[in-house]
């Protein structure tokens, strides 16, 4: 009955050694993310939020503390074991350069499935489904460089979701996009979240963060706020004018 | 290789995509490796063929492994029935006779053959025509014998049989054979005639013998077959010869050749490693971001390394396979005139395995570098901002064009990349220079034979004459300056199971001009000089005394110097003829003749021969090593190719780094021409540094390397020559010129390209 | 509200209800729908100032309606409004007052204030997002208005972050 949380982090610390000097990036973070939750992580640049998400995916090693993914201890894993865990349970989207440049869009999306041990036919079917969901079927044979930034990010998202990961990690997925492309990516994120996808996402963009169930604020490597975003009950129908007055 | 399944598919998919994305580069890598392997195969084949002609002759003529000489015709059916025998040559009748040649009588063996070339033990016709029933006077003479006697197709061939009758036959053609060694190591000289002609020369059946050749399924059966044949034929057998004796008589002392091949093989392997490491390293460097992405997807470090090794290793192995095929094709078709059989499996396997190993090692290092990439795709790395170096500022002060200054700055912005480029040019350049050093050494052998112990181009043997008469006739020739009496004897050295060659030449007071490179020349009786091979064999040094027995007489000499000794792998001891006991020294076996400078030894030889003297012409070691020149040319070509391929990789990489800089430069107002000049200067400086460095290293190394070769081959140190300054300068300039041309192509394209508006 | 009404009347004379409809059609759901009473109050003041004049138009089966049209003085006032540059938004943020003053009283600490405000802004942002979903994508004016509101909100959030970094 009680499903373990998808993410459970206790006392996570990361200290970089820069020129012999210890520089703490993350200083004792505790966090629990239940299945199906969408958590946005906000904070000023340099606050350690990217480092934190990288550690959740095993892209960086932690200095101390515990990371539990899907009920299993993960911080003690070797680099290779982390890689295997990632391909099964974690999807990653970065701010840019998500796609392997010398592979076509189709190959990029099929890669995780193949890596996870799917047959070429299964991988192709999954890819066809994902790209058609994004309306990008006709770009399947294109090189990533020929896609717009928004299309690239959507393909990256499709690839991150190719293996039905338990956890989707994203680091500023819209940081490099204009507002129209941001909207396309947001729609997709909202859709997968409604389908029950657990998401932990670092962002600066209020529009992206406002989609989350919960917002976590990080300052100087520590969590300073962790609470759900309230639904404003008193304004069932809001207008822009409530926020910005037109001077008259 | 494990079955491709599961995650293996992802690796294969990536490799395929990557190869598709860079077909040209991949092809260049394959061609470079293939070129090296082809060169190695060709070189090895030429060497094998040059140092051991027997194998080729034997294979081509389908020679017989065993020859049985019997009094009468043997039981052919019984011989054919012996285990391991596949074919029978003959039986042929053979008769001893004498060739009357310019007053000399040379013993020969006439052997019966058919008007049609026999299928087994077939002589290989080299000049003229084969025997013809319509022309019964025609004989075909074994080539080395004909050369020694100066016979050509059409020459008269007066033969005297044992009964004293002389028959004037005519040389119809010259042929080679793998069934008999070369003259004069193998005597008597051989001539093939038709059966009726043989009967005419030697009508008495009792004075001929019968020779029968056995071709075996496997050369290893030789000893057993010989035993069985002797038993089968009981008392009939007079003599048996096998392929081993023939081969031994044809083999050259090939230690120097073998060492040179090893050197070139090493150079080729280093070049292959360099080409691959550069190509793979450059490619992987541009891919680090993609690799990071792959790792974030869940590729493990091991998977990435395996994938990269597989990709680049496959290219290398494909190159090796292609090279093996190309080498085989070239040696079979393009060199069909010089090379008879393809390389034997041993060296082929060694070359294939050696290059494969080098390929894997060369690829593994950059692959490992790729594997340890952190899994976070970093933002596009900007090249480190280069401050203007002191040199560049100086250049600005003296008002050099800005393109030059910027190019100079560019060249050294990334020290590691710059070092790689310099090494990529310097190493092939160094090898080329060493190759040129070998060439110069060979030239020196030919121009100054006296420096390799061949001051005397000719030597005469008295033959039927007395020594005094021979000396008188030789000295009568206007081109003969000096004649040194000489004797060559084998000496037994205590503690050694084998004999060594001793050469007594000239008098202690008037010694032959041996090329002494260490110590001094002998001046007194009881002093001697030796080759490096002898010093090594006996474990002695200059100043030591050695004791030996020559024909039962003990001889103690003190070694006072070391000479360059190209013969007998350097295992020769030389001293004055007066150091020998009188019974061994008189009369001298031969006189070594020093000719007037500029005299043509061939001309003098003919004149002396017309005076009934037996004349030997010294074979310059450079002639035996002539095959090396071909290899040097091929190797230089391959090395040059590799250098250029390295350069292309380097300049492509440099360009990638500079794309943003270029936009800035253009925005600053540099014209396309100036941009191009900047890029070419950047590359050009590195190339010049590499070429000069490589040339200098090669020049200083080549003498040492060749001397090392000389030392370990027994000839002795002191033969090495650096390439001439002119040759070296030309090589460096050509290298720089070609490199600039190559660098110009991408630079031109970049200069014309649109300025990228934004960095993606 | 005065000058937008003048602008609408410059196009053609209209009565009060027509003006309300025109406003709604132009700004869509993004703008608070004007109250008809408020419109008549404004028109009355404009008439008193001499910017508009009302003419009674008879209707067959209904009471007369007032149709307003622009006077020369009204046109002048409109032109002056259009010609002069508009002031930018001024920071007169109530939250900032709280943030600076509240800790002095010991009622609340700044960190909690900032966090609560951030979540509030995000919930506003979510409302705007939903509004944008409901808005007809063909209505460019409405869309731009919403986007403007979002950008202001993003700026407020960024400012909040600066406040948190510097004041807490």
Q: Which of residues 161-190 of A touch C (CB under 8 A)?
A: 179
A chain contacts of residue C42, beta-carbon cutoff 8 Å: none
Q: Where are the domains of chain C?
A: 2-83, 94-167
pLDDT value at residue A248: 33
Q: C167 or A63, which is more confident? A: A63
Determine, for residues B293 and A86 on separate chains, whether the beta-carbon distance falls below 8 Å.
no
Q: Can you tell me the distance from the alpha carbon of B173 to that of B146, in angstroms, rounded to the nearest whole number? A: 10
Q: Are C67 and C15 in contact (CB under 8 A)?
A: yes
| DSSP secondary structure string for all residues of chain A | --PPPSEEEEEEEEEEEETTEEEEEEEEEEEEE-TT-EEEEE--TTSSHHHHHHHHTTSS--SEEEEEETTEE-TT--HHHHHHHHHHHEEEE-SS--S-TTS-HHHHHHHHHHHTT--HHHHHHHHHHHHHHHT-GGGTTS-GGGS-HHHHHHHHHHHHHTT--SEEEEESTTTT--HHHHHHHHHHHHHHHHTT-EEEEE-S-HHHHTTSSEEEEEETTEEEEEEEPPP-SS-SS--GGGTSPPP-
**Segments in B476-581 forming alpha helices (H):** 532-538
Distance from CA of B297 to the nearest CA of A (A): 6
**Segments in B669-724 forming alpha helices (H):** 672-713
CB pairs under 8 A between A and C: 101
Distance of CA B181 to the CA centre of its chain: 22
Interface-testing mutation among B298, B300, B302, B656, with chain A (most A C-beta atoms within 10 A):
B298
Per-residue pLDDT for B668 more than 80? no
Cα–Cα separations (whole angstroms), residue A91 to A72, A81, B462: 17, 15, 96
Order of strands, edge to edge, in the sheet holding A222-228? A90-93, A167-171, A198-202, A38-42, A214-219, A222-228
Chain A positions contacting chain B at CB under 8 Å are: 54, 57, 59-60, 79-80, 83-88, 90, 92, 94, 96-104, 107, 110-112, 114-117, 120, 145, 159
pLDDT value at residue B292: 87
Distance from CA of A160 to the nearest CA of B (A): 8
Q: Can you tell me the distance from the alpha carbon of B239 to that of B96, in angstroms, rounded to the nearest whole number? A: 15
Q: Does domain C2-83 have CATH number 1.10.10.10?
A: yes
Distance of CA C82 to the CA centre of its chain: 17
Single pTM value for the model:
0.66
Instruction: For chain B, give the percent of residues with pLDDT over 90.
Output: 1
CB atoms within 10 A of CB A154: 26
Q: How confident is the model at residue B657 (pLDDT cuts 50, 70, 90)?
A: low
Phi-psi region of B716 (alpha: psi -120 to 50; beta: other; left: phi over 0): left
pLDDT tens-digit series, residues B681-715:
877 888 888 889 988 888 888 888 777 777 776 67
Nearest CA in chain A to B375: A59
CATH of domain A7-228: 3.40.50.300
Per-residue pLDDT for B752 more than 90? no
Q: Can you tell me the distance from the alpha carbon of B309 to that of B289, in angstroms, rounded to the nearest whole number? A: 18
Nearest CA in chain B to A118: B6
C chain contacts of residue A202, beta-carbon cutoff 8 Å: none
A chain contacts of residue C32, beta-carbon cutoff 8 Å: 239, 241-242
| DSSP secondary structure string for all residues of C10-71 | HHS-B-HHHHHHHHHHHHGGGSPPPPHHHHHHHHHHHHHHTSEEEEEE--SSS--EEEEEE-
pLDDT value at residue A40: 93
Give the range among A124-133, B86-95, C69-78 with minimum mean pLDDT: B86-95
Determine, for residues C131 and A44 on separate chains, whether the beta-carbon distance falls below 8 Å.
no
Q: Do chains C and B touch (3 or more CB pairs under 8 A)?
A: no
Q: Are B39 and B634 in contact (CB under 8 A)?
A: yes
Using CB atoms, which residue from B9, B20, B302 is nearest to A120?
B9
Mean pLDDT value of segment B45-66: 74
Q: Do chains B and A touch (3 or more CB pairs under 8 A)?
A: yes
Distance from CA of A213 to the nearest CA of B (A): 26
Q: Work out the burial of residue B470: count CB atoms within 10 Å of its CB; fewer than 13 is exposed, 13-18 middle, 19 or more buried.
A: buried
Determine, for residues A210 and C120 on separate chains, whether the beta-carbon distance falls below 8 Å.
no
Determine, for residues A227 and C126 on separate chains, whether the beta-carbon distance falls below 8 Å.
no
Nearest CA in chain A to C146: A240
A chain contacts of residue C3, beta-carbon cutoff 8 Å: 248
pLDDT value at residue B139: 84
Q: Do chains A and C touch (3 or more CB pairs under 8 A)?
A: yes
**Whether A21 contacts chain C with CB within 8 A:** no
Chains with ≥3 CB–CB distances under 8 Å to C: A
Using CB atoms, which residue from B17, B300, B375 is nearest to A107?
B17
C chain contacts of residue A238, beta-carbon cutoff 8 Å: 124, 127-128, 130-131
pLDDT tens-digit series, residues B568-587:
777 888 888 888 777 777 77
Determine, for residues A44 and C165 on separate chains, whether the beta-carbon distance falls below 8 Å.
yes
Complex prediction ipTM: 0.84
pLDDT tens-digit series, residues C91-104:
667 888 888 887 77
Q: How confident is the model at residue B382 (pLDDT cuts 50, 70, 90)?
A: very low
Give the range among B385-399, C39-53, C150-164 with minimum mean pLDDT: B385-399
Determine, for residues B296 and A97 on separate chains, whether the beta-carbon distance falls below 8 Å.
no
Using CB atoms, which residue from A84, A96, A103 is nearest to B298?
A84
Per-residue pLDDT for B365 more than 80? yes
Interface-testing mutation among B297, B381, B756, B758, with chain A (most A C-beta atoms within 10 A):
B297
Mean pLDDT value of segment A179-201: 87
Nearest CA in chain A to B372: A79
pLDDT tens-digit series, residues A21-60:
888 889 989 999 999 899 999 988 888 888 899 899 888 8
Mean pLDDT value of segment B367-389: 63
Q: Can you tell me the distance from the alpha carbon of B4 to that of B39, in angstroms, rounded to the nearest whole number? A: 35
Average pLDDT across chain B, whole number? 77
A chain contacts of residue C78, beta-carbon cutoff 8 Å: none
Give the range among A138-152, B435-449, B456-470, B621-635 with minimum mean pLDDT: B621-635
CB atoms within 10 A of CB B520: 11
Interface-testing mutation among A49, A58, A100, with chain B (most B C-beta atoms within 10 A):
A100
Determine, for residues B376 and A84 on separate chains, whether the beta-carbon distance falls below 8 Å.
no
Q: How confident is the model at residue B386 (pLDDT cuts 50, 70, 90)?
A: very low
Cα–Cα separations (whole angstroms), residue B345 to B92, B250, B349, B438: 34, 21, 6, 28
Chains with ≥3 CB–CB distances under 8 Å to B: A
A chain contacts of residue B298, beta-carbon cutoff 8 Å: 83-88, 90, 112, 115-116
Q: How confident is the model at residue A9 (pLDDT cuts 50, 70, 90)?
A: very high
B chain contacts of residue A145, beta-carbon cutoff 8 Å: 760
CB pairs under 8 A between A and B: 95
Per-residue pLDDT for B505 more than 80? yes
Per-residue pLDDT for B3 more than 50? no
A chain contacts of residue B303, beta-carbon cutoff 8 Å: 83
pLDDT value at residue A13: 92
Distance from CA of C60 to the nearest CA of A (A): 37
Per-residue pLDDT for B206 more than 50? yes
pLDDT value at residue C90: 64
Distance from CA of C119 to the nearest CA of A (A): 5
A chain contacts of residue B18, beta-carbon cutoff 8 Å: 102
pLDDT value at residue B467: 76
Per-residue pLDDT for A242 more than 60? no
Q: Work out the burial of residue A143: count CB atoms within 10 Å of its CB; fewer than 13 is exposed, 13-18 middle, 19 or more buried.
A: middle
Convert A32-49 into a string of H (helix), E (strand) and C (coil): EECCCCEEEEECCCCCCH
Per-residue pLDDT for B133 more than 50? yes
Q: CA B683, B687, B690 angle in degrees (round to 5)?
A: 145
Using CB atoms, which residue from B17, B301, B760 is nearest to A103?
B17
Angle (deg, nearest 10), helices A105-115 and A149-161: 20
Determine, for residues C131 and A238 on separate chains, whether the beta-carbon distance falls below 8 Å.
yes
Give the range among A182-196, B179-193, B278-292, B422-436 with minimum mean pLDDT: B179-193
Using CB atoms, which residue from B7, B289, B375 is nearest to A115?
B7
**Burial per residue of B477-487, b for 16 or more beta-carbon CB atoms within 10 angstroms, e otherwise:** bebbebbbbbb
Using CB atoms, which residue from B290, B299, B375 is nearest to A59?
B375
Q: Can you tell me the distance from the alpha carbon of A155 to that of A166, in angstroms, rounded to the nearest whole number? A: 19
Distance of CA A26 to the CA centre of its chain: 18
Q: How confident is the model at residue A97 (pLDDT cuts 50, 70, 90)?
A: low
Q: How confident is the model at residue A167 (pLDDT cuts 50, 70, 90)?
A: very high
Q: How confident is the model at residue B384 (pLDDT cuts 50, 70, 90)?
A: very low
pLDDT value at residue B760: 36
Per-residue pLDDT for B383 more than 50? no
Q: Which of B236, B250, B198, C130 lies closest to A235 in space, CA to CA?
A: C130
Mean pLDDT value of segment A126-147: 84
pLDDT tens-digit series, residues B210-241:
888 888 877 777 777 777 777 777 777 777 77
């Amino acid at each position: 009955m009680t499903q373990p949380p998808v993410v459970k982090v206790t006392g996570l610390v990361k200290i970089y050694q820069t020129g012999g000097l210890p520089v703490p990036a993350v200083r004792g973070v505790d966090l629990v993310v239940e299945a199906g939750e969408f958590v946005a992580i906000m904070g000023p640049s340099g606050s350690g939020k990217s480092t934190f998400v990288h550690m959740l995916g095993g892209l960086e090693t932690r200095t101390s503390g515990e990371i539990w993914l899907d009920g299993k201890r993960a911080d003690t894993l070797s680099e290779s074991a982390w890689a295997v865990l990632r391909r099964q349970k974690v999807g990653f989207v970065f701010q840019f350069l998500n796609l392997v440049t010398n592979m076509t869009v189709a190959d990029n999306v099929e890669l995780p499935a193949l890596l996870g041990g799917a047959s070429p036919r299964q991988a192709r079917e999954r890819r066809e489904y994902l790209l058609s969901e994004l309306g990008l079927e006709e770009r399947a044979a294109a090189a990533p460089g020929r896609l717009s930034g928004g299309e690239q990010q959507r393909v990256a998202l499709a690839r991150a979701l190719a293996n039905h990961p338990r956890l989707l990690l994203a680091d500023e997925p819209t940081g490099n996009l204009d507002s129209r492309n941001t909207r396309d990516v947001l729609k997709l994120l909202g859709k997968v979240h409604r389908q029950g996808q657990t998401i932990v996402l670092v962002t600066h963009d209020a529009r992206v963060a406002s989609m989350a169930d919960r917002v976590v604020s990080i300052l100087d490597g520590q969590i300073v706020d962790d609470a759900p975003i309230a639904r404003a009950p008193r304004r069932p129908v809001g207008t822009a004018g409530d926020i910005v007055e037109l001077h008259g | 290789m494990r079955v491709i399944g599961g995650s293996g598919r992802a690796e294969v998919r990536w490799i395929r995509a990557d190869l598709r994305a860079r077909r040209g580069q991949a092809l260049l890598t394959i061609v470079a490796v293939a070129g090296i392997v082809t060169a190695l195969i060709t070189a090895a084949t030429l060497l094998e063929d040059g140092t051991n002609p027997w194998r080729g002759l034997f294979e081509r003529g389908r020679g017989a492994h065993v020859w049985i000489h019997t009094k009468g015709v043997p039981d052919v059916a019984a011989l054919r029935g012996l285990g391991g025998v596949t074919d029978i040559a003959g039986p042929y009748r053979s008769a001893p006779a004498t060739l009357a040649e310019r007053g000399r009588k040379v013993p020969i063996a006439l052997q019966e053959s058919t008007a049609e070339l026999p299928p087994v033990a077939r002589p290989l016709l080299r000049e003229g025509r084969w025997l013809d029933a319509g022309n019964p006077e025609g004989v075909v003479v074994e080539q080395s014998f004909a050369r020694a006697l100066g016979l050509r197709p059409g020459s008269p061939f007066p033969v005297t049989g044992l009964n004293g009758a002389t028959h004037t036959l005519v040389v119809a053609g010259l042929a080679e054979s793998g069934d008999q060694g070369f003259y004069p190591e193998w005597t008597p000289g051989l001539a093939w005639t038709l059966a009726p002609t043989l009967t005419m020369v030697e009508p008495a059946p009792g004075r001929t013998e019968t020779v029968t050749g056995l071709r075996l399924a496997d050369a290893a059966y030789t000893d057993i077959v010989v035993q069985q044949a002797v038993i089968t034929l009981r008392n009939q057998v007079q003599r048996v010869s096998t392929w081993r004796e023939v081969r031994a008589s044809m083999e050259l002392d090939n230690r120097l050749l073998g060492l040179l091949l090893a050197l070139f093989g090493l150079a080729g392997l280093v070049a292959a490693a360099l080409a691959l490491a550069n190509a793979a390293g450059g490619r992987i460097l541009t891919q680090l971001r993609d690799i990071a992405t792959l790792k974030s997807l869940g590729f493990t470090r091991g998977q990435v390394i395996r994938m990269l090794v597989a990709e680049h290793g496959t290219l290398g192995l494909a190159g090796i396979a292609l090279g093996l095929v190309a080498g085989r094709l070239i040696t079979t078709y393009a060199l069909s005139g010089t090379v008879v059989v393809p390389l034997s499996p041993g060296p082929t396997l060694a070359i294939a395995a050696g290059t494969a190993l080098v390929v894997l090692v060369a690829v593994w290092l950059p692959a490992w570098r790729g594997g340890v990439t952190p899994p976070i795709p970093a933002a596009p790395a900007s090249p480190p901002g280069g401050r203007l170096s002191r040199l560049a500022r100086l250049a600005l002060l003296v008002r050099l064009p800005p393109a030059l200054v910027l190019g100079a700055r560019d060249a050294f912005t990334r020290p590691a990349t710059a070092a790689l480029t310099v090494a990529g040019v310097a190493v092939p350049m160094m090898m080329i220079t060493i190759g040129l050093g070998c060439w110069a050494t060979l030239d020196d052998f030919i121009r100054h034979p006296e420096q390799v112990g061949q001051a005397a181009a000719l030597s005469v043997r008295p033959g039927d004459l007395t020594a005094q008469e021979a000396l008188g006739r030789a000295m009568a020739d206007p081109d003969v300056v000096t004649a040194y009496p000489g004797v060559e004897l084998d000496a037994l050295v205590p503690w050694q199971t084998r004999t060594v060659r001793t050469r007594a030449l000239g008098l202690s007071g008037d010694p032959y001009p041996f090329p002494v490179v260490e110590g001094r020349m002998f001046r007194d009786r009881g002093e001697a000089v030796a080759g490096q091979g002898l010093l090594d064999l006996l474990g002695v040094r200059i100043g030591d005394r050695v004791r030996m027995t020559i024909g039962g007489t003990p001889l103690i000499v003190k070694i006072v110097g070391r000479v360059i000794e190209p013969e007998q792998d350097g295992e020769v001891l030389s001293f004055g003829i007066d150091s020998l006991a009188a019974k061994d020294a008189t009369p001298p076996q031969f006189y070594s003749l020093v000719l007037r400078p500029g005299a043509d030894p061939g001309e003098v030889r003919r004149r002396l021969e017309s005076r009934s003297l037996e004349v030997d012409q010294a074979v310059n070691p450079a002639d035996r090593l002539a095959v090396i020149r071909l290899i040097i040319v091929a190797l230089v070509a391959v090395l040059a190719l590799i250098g250029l391929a390295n350069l292309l990789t380097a300049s492509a990489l440099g360009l990638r780094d500079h794309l943003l800089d270029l936009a800035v430069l253009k925005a600053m107002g540099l014209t396309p021409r100036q941009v191009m000049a900047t890029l070419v200067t950047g590359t050009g400086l590195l190339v010049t540094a590499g070429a000069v460095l490589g040339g200098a290293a090669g020049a200083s190394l080549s003498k040492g390397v060749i001397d090392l070769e000389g030392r370990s081959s027994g000839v002795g140190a002191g033969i090495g020559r650096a390439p001439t300054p002119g040759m070296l300068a030309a090589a460096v300039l050509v290298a720089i010129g070609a490199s600039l041309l190559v660098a110009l192509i991408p630079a031109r394209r970049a200069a014309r390209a649109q300025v990228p508006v934004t960095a993606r | 509200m005065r000058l937008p009404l003048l602008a609408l009347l410059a196009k053609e004379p209209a009565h009060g209800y027509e003006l309300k409809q025109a406003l709604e059609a132009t700004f869509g759901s993004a703008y608070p729908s004007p109250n008809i009473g408020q419109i008549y109050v404004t028109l009355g003041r404009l008439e008193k100032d001499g910017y508009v004049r009302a003419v009674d138009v008879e209707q067959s089966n209904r009471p007369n309606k007032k149709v307003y049209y622009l006077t020369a003085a009204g046109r002048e006032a409109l032109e002056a409004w259009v010609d002069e540059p508009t002031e930018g938004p001024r920071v007169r943020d109530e939250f900032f007052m709280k943030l600076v003053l509240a800790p002095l009283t010991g009622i609340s600490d700044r960190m909690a204030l900032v966090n609560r405000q951030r979540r509030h802004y995000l919930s506003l942002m979510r409302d705007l997002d939903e509004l944008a979903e409901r808005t007809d994508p063909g209505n460019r004016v409405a869309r731009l208005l919403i986007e403007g509101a979002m950008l202001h909100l993003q700026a407020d959030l960024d400012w909040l972050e600066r406040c948190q970094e510097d004041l807490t």
